[in-house]
Structure 1
Amino acid sequence: MSTPQPGDALGASYRLVKHIGSGAAGDVWLTESTRDDATYAAKILKAEHANDADLVERFVRERSVLIGLRHPNIVAVRDLVVEGSTLAIVMDYIAGGTLRDLLAAQKTLPAAEALNLAAQIFDGLTEAHRLQVTHRDIKPDNVLLAEAWQPGQRQTVRVTDFGIASVVSARQRQTSGMLGTPQYMAPEIISHGHSTSAADIYSTGVLLYELLSGRTPFDGPGTDFTIAYRHVTALPPELDIPRELWRAVNDLLAKDPRDRPSAAEAAATMRRLAPKFHDLPALAPAAVAEDFVEAERPRTMLRSDLLHETNLTGDVESSVAQDAPELGPAPQHTVLRPMPVARTSEPDEPATEQTPADEQQSWFTKKNIVLGLCGLVLLVALVVGGIWLFTGNADDAQTASDTALQASQQDPPLPTGLAVSRQASYDPDAEQITVEITYSAQRAPLSGQFLEVLPATDPEAEACPAVSWEGAAAKSHQTSNTGLRAECGWQLDGVDIPANDQLTVTATLPGSITDQQELNAWLEAAAQATNTALHNPDASSTAYPVQRLMDIRVETPSRTVSQTPLPITLLPVWPSGPDELNPLYQSPSSGSPSKMLQNIAGDESGVRFSDNCSGAVAISSDGLTVTALSVTPQCSIHASVGNFTSLQSSPLSITTRD
């Protein structure tokens, strides 16, 4: 159904009545059943979803789960229509509008009303989580009201789009970092691509914050990636509300998913607090924050995700220490070489006896005065040198930490879908640092060459440290081959990260670390040096595309003629700007896909075109070829390439042949 119209059939059992809304996934129509004239809402998914065989298969497989998800606070899914190029979800029609509409009208809500609405959302999530169904995209747009909102209403909330969020955005079981809405995404989705029921708790916490203040906690200047990354690195600005209420909101927004309450616990808390703050008026809408307080990084990180620092007992700590391998004596030692103490030697022969006058005259000769002064200078030098050797140098020998240290660092997610985290551990016995670098991919597989910079721990060192690698083939980065300057850089070859998966490589290098602060600073410096080299705007290079590609430009002619294939070029955009000399992909295609396309999207299967041309163009079944069909003064082409899902061309027109 390329252009649905009122009166059109939807499958064998429904008829379209009128268009009532649009969303990121598709259009919503008021629909009548042809069997009993009952009214429903039908969400007709975009053509790219209907043409995705894997997604359709998953919908059919999950149909019984979605239809069986019944709760007073969940919009019930009644049917699934799969017919030709049409894929639609038929569900109950809820007439009261969305929480987004309510926010637009009210700006903020009194605390008791906001808590009541949040409690109903948590009630619905409790049932969904019991059935192992997570929503993954809780936001005001996906929360409906059974009737027009009035203060004091109860049982009015209906959470919708479980079918969309848990299937469309969950084609993979680990949600890609930017498949949700950045303002509402949990930190673990941003940093690792992992989504559990705790992510729904976090998103509802963001929604509650918005109901109270009129804005989401991390909204502010910057791109979607900037906003998303604040969930990982920044603390939510505190609202001017009672401490007990703020603690409840803040608990929902905990960075660690294990610190958040369950949906049932959160619902109980909301209901307990609502009567306490019945008389608390609505806040004035909060201004968008310009600055954010950075969240404190943990001082110690355990590699196992199953352990939590606050749960460690003395027994656990001692067992961990006992299990540590014995590495033997350190290969290098600081050696103190004390300077011998100078002694006055006795003359071999007795001195010639002199008269007092002669003795006085010989002592005051110019030569003896000079020698005496030199001896005094030497004595002072010996004393100072001895003090430095036995005190200052001893201090230097003690500067290296004698305890094991650990530090962690996380890069912001990249537009290609790559997330990078680094864990460094210092072994004082071996005087070496081990760095575990974890690369995570989102919706598209990522591969190719990667860059990592590992500087010496001593900033005054003239040479880069020797590094041994595990998990990837590595060689020294060559500026002459890549056009990028990266001192102490390493080129990792053959990195291959499946979609929604991760790969860890390990680097080991010698180094001496004084304390925790120094290890943190060194790891941050390594990450910063890597990113500075990769994102140098003055460097024109196609090297390391997974780490450097910033955007993709969709190029089409401004005018084409009907009944001909539409030429489309996808241009990579690097930190230095668009690269017209090295296109990423051209349609109609010929030959093998470019290496860059394979690196960021796997191959042509990661490319899909769609249109906003009202039927004036046709898209091939594989989504790779666009053909102009009929005359139109203006339309545009949309493209999805790997993790880049919202690409659009400049407007073009289709005319008849001259």
Structure 2
Amino acid sequence: MQLAQTGQALGASYRFGERVGSGAVGEVWTVTSTDGRTLAAKVLRPEHADDPSLVERFVRERSVLLGLQDSHIVTVRDMVVEGERLAIVMDYIAGGSLRDMVKEAGPLAPEDAVNIAAEIFDALAFAHSRGVTHRDIKPDNVLLTRPWSERETGDIRVSDFGISDVVGEKIRQTTGLIGTPQYMPPELISQGRSGPPGDVYSTGVLLYELLAGRTPFAGPGTDFSVAYRHVSARPPRIPVDDALWGILDQLLSKDPASRPTAREAASTLRRLAPGLAGSSPIARGEAPEDFDDVERPATVVRGAFTDDELAAFAAAPAAGVDAVVPDLGQAGSATIARPMPRREMRPPAEESKKEKDATPFWRTRKALLLAGGAVLLIVAMVVGFVLLSPTTQQAAPTPPGQQLSAQLQDPALPTGLTISRSATYEPSSGQVRLTVSYAAQKAPLSGEFLEVIPGLADGEACPAVTWDGGTAGRNQASITGVDVACGWKLSGVEIPAGGSVQLTAKVPVAPADQKAMDSWLRAGSEATAAATQDPAVKGTAYPVQRLKGVEVRMPARVVTPSPLKITLVPVWAGGADELNPLYVSPASGKPSQMLASVTGGEKGVRFADGCGGALAVDSSGLTVTALQITPQCTVRASVGNFTELQSPPFGITSRENSGD
């Protein structure tokens, strides 16, 4: 698609002025209409515009968006479909966005923040009454009719209503997600969809940001880590009036049914505003390093189980029972939430210890010893020492000279990673020395790796491990999305292609015999594999261990002569992840960290012509150009250890025929 240029025509009624913004959906330009008005046009990106089904949906939504006329909503004036170009023409709002204002002013006085949120809720209430959900409320999509310093009541305008509906259907069919990670409602992450309560939640996040200068779940980790905190963590309390925090807490409820409607929220905030007059803005706080976890909901089809069965599924993990929760597949439209059990949760060791402590064997033994002679007493003490010492880690280790060792090698992973583990128990130290070897095949591998080091037996606490040869820290589920007991995150590991690296750990466990040693080493290997291959885990953490495959995605139709947009989509155990692509060609900016981890960056990516000369590949092997018209073509690719990849068939047409 030809890029927009200043002075170029847009349809029959408009001419492009200046580009004033750019986002994931498209670019925003000023346009001048034939009657001299200055308007704004959001031109959708080519990956949206070249989908025939989206064009059909775009036209179908036209009457809904044009009918969304409200004083707090940026009015849509026209929708243009011109060849491969799709554009939404709307009023031009000159005062800038709420994002600009937040950057400039920082945290707002509570009264100002509450009044702004109330006007946003007014806009949402009107749209929801017309059956339209925004799905991407954030400061960038809230505009001001005049600069903040000149503000008056009624200056707020919410933009981009319905654009998520226009482009969102295709996205929801593939990933279930559309929105901005900082503002995504939890049901969008856990169930793949959201409605009006999701808009209420996102506005609650925005209100929190106006008050605190940051969103509630901003912090370390990837975009998906941030998004997942909406499901897994509690919003950190900020020092505002208790009544204000009370409404914030309702707006940010994990349960959509517990949130007020947009109209109720607007009314509540307006009642609250007079009592906040004169309150000063709070100081901008730093994002926390960690968050308080909550029970994370997963999706269950309503009616598939009885209430008793659901209660049993929910209660089993809390009781430490390995319950088999049925695989429900993809949820339907009517859903309920159930607690998602934490992996590897075991019953506390204290109960078994209490049972042992309560056993009255020592009394009987004492009676026997008192009844016997001195010789029998000495013999009994020796026998008792030998028999009882293995039962606790604090007891004496295996007698000197009885070293134990074990080795284990996991099958090679799709990325080419092979993990070998060897363990040696030294009786003199009472510790196991564990050596973990990571080996790579065709591509260099790097980044963060997960290693689970459990206690010696079920019920024992996770051992305090000392690592050598790398940077190690406890795995944090709120950041990585991988929830496993006794997990360690090993950072800065770099494995050359065809080479290997080793990390060592000292683990304070004392296996009683060879069988216990083998069982312990195998338990750590199996727990690591289960955690990294869990289909319920989302996000991009530990890509070298979690990546199952790579899909080559193309538009269904491309135009010659032009570079092809090729997207490499990672495939995890839970399926393809279009939200976090590995690579997009032609590339702009730095390669993704995932790509660097699994193949050393762009040098590990190569494309090839899959349709007999209809495509040209540049010398770098990274940019592919369509040369000839053909109804069916494919692109071949290799990505590190993933070779013989091929895109689905697509067609190549001429620019003259592109509008057919």
When normalised by structure 2's length, the TM-score is: 0.55
Which residue number in structure 1 is paired with residue 179 of structure 2? 180
- Equivalent residues in 2 for 1:74-473 (5 A)? 74-150=73-149, 153-171=152-170, 176=175, 178-284=177-283, 286-297=284-295, 303=300, 305=302, 405-407=312-314, 433-438=323-328
Counterpart Cα distance in 1 of 2:546 and 2:251? 45
Superposition pairs of residues 483-562 of structure 1, within 5 angstroms: 530-532=530-532, 546-547=571-572, 552-553=582-583
Q: Say whether the 8 Å CA contact 1:22–1:28 is kept in structure 2.
A: yes
Distance (Å, rounded) in 1 between the aligned partners of 2:318 and 2:629: 52
Instruction: Give the direction of change, closer, same or farther, for the CA distance of 1:187–1:306 in structure 2 (3 Å limit).
Output: farther
Distance 2:282 2:594 in 1: 46
1:84–1:107: structure 2 CA closer, same or farther, 3 Å change rule? Answer: same
How far residue 86 of structure 1 moved from its aligned partner, in angstroms, is 1.4
Shift of 1:436: 2.1
1:490 is matched with which residue?
A: none
Task: Indicate conservation of the 8 Å contact 1:143/1:157, yes or no.
Answer: yes
Question: Residue deviations 1:417-469, cap 9 Å, x none?
Answer: xxxxxx9799x9xx994322356599xxxxxxxxxx99999999xxxxxxxxx
The equivalent of 2:31 in structure 1 is: 31
Taking the aligned partners of 1:37 and 1:581, their CA distance within structure 2 comes to 51
CA distance, structure 2, for counterparts of residue 207 and residue 570 of structure 1? 28
User: How far off its partner does 1:39 sit?
Assistant: 2.0
Change beyond 3 A, Cα 1:575–1:557: closer
Q: 1:132-172: per-residue Cα shift (whole Å, max 9, x none)?
A: 11111000000011112247721111100113222113446
Matched residue SS, 1:141: helix
Q: Deviation at 1:27?
A: 1.9
Q: Could you tell me which amino acid in structure 1 is paired with residue 610 of structure 2? A: S
Offset, 1:44: 1.4
Q: Distance in 2 between matches of 1:622 and 1:288?
A: 55
CA distance in 1, matches of 2:145, 2:174: 30
**CA distance in 2: counterparts of 1:130 and 1:28, whole angstroms:** 28
CA distance 1:240–1:578, shift in 2 (3 Å):
same
The alpha-carbon distance between structure 1 residues 457 and 291, as it changes in their structure 2 partners (threshold 3 A), is closer
Q: Which residue number corresponds to residue 3 of structure 1?
A: 3
- Cα deviations across residues 63-82 of structure 1 (Å, max 9, x unaligned)? 00010111111111111111
Task: Report the Cα offset of residue 546 of structure 1.
Answer: 2.9
In the alignment, the residues of structure 2 paired with residue 238 and residue 570 of structure 1 have an alpha-carbon distance, to the nearest angstrom, of 33
Partners of 1:52 and 1:302 in 2: how far apart?
30
- The separation in 2 between residues aligned to 1:621 and 1:123, in whole angstroms, is 52
Distance 2:61 2:630 in 1: 24
Mark the CA change 1:232 to 1:622 in structure 2 (over 3 Å): closer, same or farther: farther
Tell me the amino acid that sits aligned with residue 166 of structure 2.
V
Does the 8 Å CA contact 1:94/1:146 hold for their aligned counterparts?
yes
Whether contact under 8 Å (2:611, 2:633) holds in the other structure is no
Distance 1:203 1:623 in 2: 43
| C-alpha distance in 1 between matches for 2:218 and 2:312 | 35
Q: Deviations over 1:345-397 (max 9, x none)?
A: xxxxxxxxxxxxxxxxxxxxxxxxxxxxxxxxxxxxxxxxxxxxxxxxxxxxx
Partner of 2:436: none
Question: Kindly tell me: are residues 434 and 101 of structure 1, through their superposed partners in 2, closer, same or farther at Cα, counting changes over 3 Å?
Answer: same
Distance 1:277 1:17, change over 3 A: same
TM-score normalised according to structure 1 size = 0.55
CA displacement at 1:209 relative to structure 2: 0.5
Asked if 1:15 corresponds to 2:40, the answer is: no
In structure 2, the CA distance between the partners of 1:118 and 1:61, relative to structure 1 (3 Å rule), is: same
**CA–CA distance in 1 between the matches of 2:225 and 2:135?**
20
Q: CA deviation at 1:547?
A: 2.1
Q: Distance in 2 between matches of 1:271 and 1:257?
A: 22
CA contact (8 A) 2:172 2:178 kept: no
Cα distance, 1:257–1:407 mapped onto 2, change above 3 Å: same
Change (3 A) 1:436 1:77: same
Label 1:618 to 1:303 Cα distance change in 2 as closer, same or farther (>3 A). same
| CA-based RMSD | 4.9
Match of 1:608 in 2: none
Can you list the C-alpha shifts for 1:239-288, whole angstroms capped at 9, x where unaligned? Answer: 1111111111111111111111110111111111111101111112x233
Q: Give 1:589 shift.
A: 2.4
Write the letter of the residue equivalent to 2:250. D
- Larger radius of gyration, structure 1 or 2? 1
Residue equivalent to 2:463: none
Q: Structure 1 residues 195, 176: CA separation in 2 closer, same or farther (over 3 Å shift)?
A: farther
Q: Which residue of 2 aligns with 1:589?
A: 610
Q: CA contact under 8 A between 1:108 and 1:214: conserved in structure 2? A: yes
Q: In structure 2, do the counterparts of structure 1 residues 432 and 5 end up closer, same or farther at CA, with 3 Å as the change threshold? A: closer
Q: CA 1:557–1:69 in 2, change beyond 3 Å: closer, same or farther?
A: closer
Counterparts of 1:226 and 1:37, CA distance in 2:
47
1:20 positional shift: 2.3
Q: Is the 8 A contact 1:28 1:43 kept in 2?
A: yes
CA distance in 2, matches of 1:174, 1:100: 30
| AA in 2 matched with 1:405 | A
Shift of 1:292: 3.2
Cα shift at 1:624: 7.9
In 1, distance between residues paired with 2:253 and 2:22? 32
Cα offsets for 1:327-353 (capped at 9, x unmatched): xxxxxxxxxxxxxxxxxxxxxxxxxxx
Moved more, 105-114 or 537-546: 537-546
- Structure 1 residue 88 displacement after superposition: 0.8
Change (3 A) 1:37 1:138: same
Give unpaired runs (5+ residues) of structure 1: 308-316, 326-403, 409-422, 443-452, 461-477, 488-512, 515-522, 559-568, 592-611, 627-640, 643-658
Letter in 2 for 1:552: L
CA–CA distance in structure 2, aligned partners of residues 571 and 103 of structure 1: 29
8 Å contact kept, 2:74–2:159 = yes
Pick closer, same or farther for the CA change 1:576–1:531 going to 2, 3 Å.
Answer: farther
Q: Cα deviation per residue 1:284-325 (whole Å; 9 max; x = unaligned)?
A: 2x2332333323327x99956589xxxxxxxxx9x956xx89
Change (3 A) 1:622 1:84: farther
Matching residue of 1:339: none
DSSP-derived class of the 1:81 partner: strand
SS in 1 for 2:582: strand
1:484 touches 1:541 (CA, 8 Å); kept in 2?
no
